[in-house]
Amino acid sequence: MSEQIQSEQASDLSVDADWDALYIDGEFRSVPDRDRIDVENPATREVFTQVPSGTVEDVDDAYEAAVAAQTEWENTPPDRRAEVVRKVAYLIDEHEDEIKELLAVEGGSTPPKQAIEHGGTVTFVHDAASHAFRMDGKHNQSKIPGKENIIQRQPAGVVAVISPWNVPMKLSIRAVAPAIATGNSVVLKPATETAVTGGLLLARLFDMAGLPDGVLNVVTGSGSTAGDRTAAHPDNDVVAFTGSTEVGRMVGNNAIDHFALPALELGGNNPHVVLEDADLDTAVDAGVFGSFWNQGQVCISINRHLVHESVYDEYAERLTERAAELEIADPREEDSIIGPIINESQRDEILDYVERTVEQGATLETGGETVTVDGVEDSLYVAPTVLTDVTNDMAAACNEHFGPVAPIIPFSDDDEAVELANATEYGLAGSVHSADRGRARDVADRIDVGMMHVNDQPVNAEPHVPFGGMKDSGTGRYNGDWIIQEFTESKWTSVQRESRDYLF
């Protein structure tokens, strides 16, 4: 193969396309002398493609290109920046079937996950295109006669994006598209497990949309090499990271060492609070979706079901019945609801949390085991799991289990519900159910999270509202005007329009 992938290959978005390249300075570089990383289909355990294991030098090349391209892109008229981003949204819509298959094969995304990730991404990118015209400035009065104060918003410069594997396309593009729309250049390091849908797919889409060379660069590779160099690169102005709190601390420290702004969306231990007057049909519907969408592999999924003792048994019985009925199948099957866990280490950690919780005194109502699908050895499928008789300090409750696990914890009154909900270092999202919306709102206001949902569940995101958490769940906010604040800097210019008297 030549050093650059040919143009007809570069526009191929199928599972069978050649994804074995880095994207630097507008070129898909095949870099034949690099080690390769196998990208595995978690449903079949088969390798469907390979990507380069990027080096520190590759990352440095990406930053050199990003720095060189940024000033000209910043000075590009906003309508042109918006046009490129909007074209990407159209391309995602146009290639829906190919992209959904990629999400299924690479990330284990079942049809409900594919639909939400694909559709949500299109909506988010359309909104991001408008950011080019929303970098609002203002004029302020001055205490000095004859002076004019002008406050402008300017691009931060170079934005590093380090994205996760669980909702890879959407969580990559929610940072990449706003950064580009607001005049920044980007270096994107996708998760190793989803190097295609979290990285190289975006490179091809923006390349097809006509983005100038160097504005977006994608380096695949290990977290310990390409990831660490990206997080700590001295040319960063913003580091946008989505992932675990443990890794986020290291990324944030690396960013601050070079005075880059850390935009960190980290872990969660999200409560789903069901008061005694809740509509149980609605609460259970929400509980099933919030715990088992994408196999629970979502930072905003329900980690704990906090249920009033008077309705505890009925809620647990209903949730258990619903969990046991969920279809477990290859994500490419139309009826599949529960797909595979992303890899062995995640699967083993989930099962360990369940086992330890049972040893601590909980009751396993359903699940708690792997399920073999289509005869695949060493299956990554974990059955939807419901645990009762759980307390807040048990393993599956006090940890972010990140799997299809629903621990149910009883409480006696609203005060205890709030106390249990807040008894965690995390503060990302939550939900409260009650027939009395005023009461539900009162409880919701007392729970320390960045995002709270009344008579719903926590797996929600909209492009025009802030997304982020409190406490150890991160810093800053994504989406809308909030991400514009993260990816731009304020500049104050004063103009003295008439003579001024000085003190000496």
Just list the catalytic residues. 265, 299
Phi first, then psi, for residue 340 (nearest 5°) are -80, 160
* C-alpha span between 394 and 407 (Å, rounded): 9
Instruction: Give the strand pairing for 270-274 and 429-433.
Output: parallel
* H/E run at residue 349: helix 344-359
* H/E run at residue 74: helix 56-74
Which residues touch 290 (CB under 8 Å, ≥6 apart)?
Answer: 270, 272, 301, 302, 431, 457, 458, 459
User: How is residue 4 annotated by DSSP?
Assistant: B
| Closest by Cα among 126, 195, 136 to 165 | 195
* C-alpha span between 470 and 463 (Å, rounded): 19
* H/E run at residue 59: helix 56-74
Amino acid at 235: D
| Three-class SS state of 174 | helix
Two tokens, residue 402: 């990140």
User: How is residue 211 annotated by DSSP?
Assistant: P
Phi first, then psi, for residue 327 (nearest 5°) are -75, 125
Two tokens, residue 66: 């990003």
Whether the CB-CB separation of 387 and 408 falls below 8 Å is answered with yes
Residue ranges of alpha helices (H) inside 130-279 are 168-181, 201-208, 228-231, 245-257
End-to-end CA distance of the chain: 73
